[in-house]
Amino acid sequence: MLIIFYVLLLVNIGRCSDHQIFDTKTVAVGQNVTLNCSRDHLWHLTNLFWIRLVSQTFPEILGSTISHNVEIIEKINHITTKQEPGAFVLHMNRAQLNDTAVYYCIKVTERKMTFLKGTFLRIKGPETGISSVAQDFLSDLLHQGDPVTLQCSVLSNSENKTCTEAHSVYWYRAKPDDTHASLIYAHGTSGYNCEQSPEAPSQQKCVYSFSKNISSSDTGVYYCAVATCGEIFFGNGTKLDVEVVHHWNLQNTNTVLFLLCIALSISLIVIIVLIYTIKQRSNTSGKRSNFYIHFSNSIQESYSILICNEVFIAHV
């Protein structure tokens, strides 16, 4: 819509001479659609355009013509624009779901632009009748090798269902380190159970199950997707947390503990040897000290005797 406002700021818009119409039209997918826009062959230097405006995209020109009568036919895919008496017509062959948009017929005269007609066209697909898609929540922490069963419950109402296409159920896994989910399983014609609701016979509940023995690489969020009649419905997701026991680390830990015990034993032996050696040296040093003291005392006694002798001799 912002593109249209920008265009309006750049050109003058005629408002008084033309009757402007905006309407809404809803058709089923696969039907043919015809949109008419008034055209007067007496308009001079006038061009007419059919454009399509889809949210968050640039306007798309589907066809153009001039005001006076001329056989100009333009075709883009399944959309054709051409002149008819007093009208500029857009014809859509077998409408598709992505044709839902706002269609404008624009009149451009010199520097003046007028929106003659606007139509919001809604393409309605077949009703799937699906009311909800739910998944179970797992609260227990799982271990590697444990069996796990994921369930996806699809609730539908047959009264609102106009599509006869069967459900296709897929399981996706989104890992914490991945930006995109990956497909891991698709249901075939078996592996599910459907039952009617006792309170409302039109309500049907189908439960799709997916089982496996989990491994350390299975951690993530698992989504079930139900595809039918051109639409896809996703469940709320089930998170699996797998507790991993690292046997390699336990072996390393046991090895380290064993080596530490050996190192501690060696250290104790070395300490005992050192204590014994130090004690032996202490005993040897003690004996040498006693011998030195005894020898010193003997020298002193001898020296005293000599002195006494000298004194004695002097005295004589």
Residue 83 belongs to some domain of the structure = yes
Indicate the pTM of the whole model. Answer: 0.47
DSSP characters for 38-93? Answer: E--TT-SSEEEEEEEE-TTS--EEEEEEESS----EEEETTEEEEEETTEEEEEES
Asked if 66 and 110 touch (Cβ cutoff 8 Å), the reply is no
Residue 29 belongs to some domain of the structure = yes
Q: What is the pLDDT of residue 125?
A: 78
Percent of the chain with pLDDT over 70: 79
Residue 206 belongs to some domain of the structure = yes
Q: How far apart are CA 162 and CA 89, in angstroms?
A: 31
The CATH number of the domain where 198 resides is what?
2.60.40.10
Whether residues 166 and 194 share a domain: the answer is yes
Q: Any idea which residue has 């015990």 for tokens?
A: 261
Residue 226 in tokens: 């139900």
Residue 288 belongs to some domain of the structure = no
Q: How confident is the model at residue 13 (pLDDT cuts 50, 70, 90)?
A: very low
Number of structural domains (the chain) is: 2
3-state secondary structure of 288: helix
Whether residues 144 and 193 share a domain: the answer is yes
Mean pLDDT (whole number) for 276-283: 81
Identity at 288, one-letter amino acid code: R
CB burial string 120-149: b at 16+ within 10 A, e below: ebebebbebbbeebebeeeeeebeeeeebe
Average of per-residue pLDDT values in the chain: 79
- Greatest mean pLDDT among 46-50, 132-136, 225-229, 305-309 lies in 46-50
pLDDT tens profile 62-121: 999 988 888 889 999 999 999 999 899 999 999 988 899 999 999 998 888 889 999 999
Q: What is the pLDDT of residue 289?
A: 53
DSSP state of 245: P
CB burial string 32-43: b at 16+ within 10 A, e below: ebebbbebeeeb
Enclosing domain of residue 224: 130-240
Q: What is the pLDDT of residue 87?
A: 92
Q: Using the predicted structure, report yes or no on whether residue 9 has a pLDDT greater than 50.
A: no
Residue 254 belongs to some domain of the structure = no
Last residue of a domain, one of 124, 153, 169: 124
Residue 223 in tokens: 């989504």
Last residue of a domain, one of 240, 257, 288: 240
pLDDT tens profile 24-53: 999 988 899 999 999 888 888 899 999 999
Residue 284 belongs to some domain of the structure = no
